[in-house]
């Protein structure tokens, strides 16, 4: 297992993987994600976060895709409105601003470093559970962690899948885009499903 998580973080990772694996992605989930992405989503294990209507917002992807392709982005943002809102933040230069904040704020940098370690530990636990070989990506998380912000989509996905308080940058991005996207409010372009999915 990658070095870093303390005992409480290790427990958190086990609980997160158990929760994710409890409800594997259904065919309907895969169809929804295919519609969101415009392509077939390879390697989906589960939906890690859902819209208020039940549609996928972020999925959990195998560390090793079919064909033996390593895939480091375990938490993958798929919800159309979420992706669009994050893209608007990126276009507004928020990634540079947040990278500068990490460099200037040691407390934020430590929290972001913890998010990186949790991402690696989560993927490691998932790989062990699935029998995937993650050695080629064992030290690579996502989104630029642990020192910069390279992809807000991946960081927001981690916040949605793992919950608030895990990735401070993903949490900040979610707060900033609340007027355009909020996981508690359905704004799906294909309408809502009464009673969820």
Two tokens at 36?
């969101």
Of 110, 127, 125, the residue nearest 169 (C-alpha):
110
Give the span between the Cα atoms of 172 and 64, in whole angstroms: 30
Give the span between the Cα atoms of 70 and 66, in whole angstroms: 9
The domain locations on the chain are: 7-176
Q: Which residues contact 42 (CB under 8 A, 6 or more apart)?
A: 61, 65, 66
pLDDT in tens, the chain (197 residues): 444 557 889 999 999 999 999 989 999 999 999 999 999 999 999 999 999 999 999 999 999 999 999 999 999 999 999 999 999 999 999 999 999 999 999 999 999 999 999 999 999 999 999 999 999 999 999 999 999 999 999 999 999 999 999 999 999 999 999 999 999 999 887 643 333 33
Q: Quick check: pTM over 0.75? A: yes
């Amino acid at each position: 297992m990658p070095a870093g998580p303390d005992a409480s973080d290790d427990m958190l990772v086990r609980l997160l993987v158990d929760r994710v694996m409890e409800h594997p992605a259904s065919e309907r989930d895969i169809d929804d994600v295919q519609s969101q992405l415009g392509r077939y989503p390879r390697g989906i294990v589960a939906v890690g976060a859902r819209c208020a209507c039940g549609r996928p917002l972020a999925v959990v992807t195998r560390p090793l895709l079919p064909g033996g392709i390593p895939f480091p982005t375990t938490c993958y943002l798929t919800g159309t409105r979420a992706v669009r809102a994050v893209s608007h933040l990126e276009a507004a230069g928020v990634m540079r601003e947040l990278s500068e904040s990490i460099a200037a704020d040691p407390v934020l940098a430590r929290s972001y470093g913890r998010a990186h370690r949790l991402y690696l530990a989560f993927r490691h636990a998932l790989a062990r559970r699935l029998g995937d070989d993650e050695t080629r990506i064992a030290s690579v998380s996502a989104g630029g962690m642990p020192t910069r912000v390279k992809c807000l989509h991946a960081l927001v996905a981690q916040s949605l899948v793992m919950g608030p308080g895990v990735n401070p940058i993903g949490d900040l991005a979610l707060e900033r885009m609340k007027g355009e996207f909020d996981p508690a409010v359905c704004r799906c372009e294909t309408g809502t499903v009464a009673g969820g999915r």
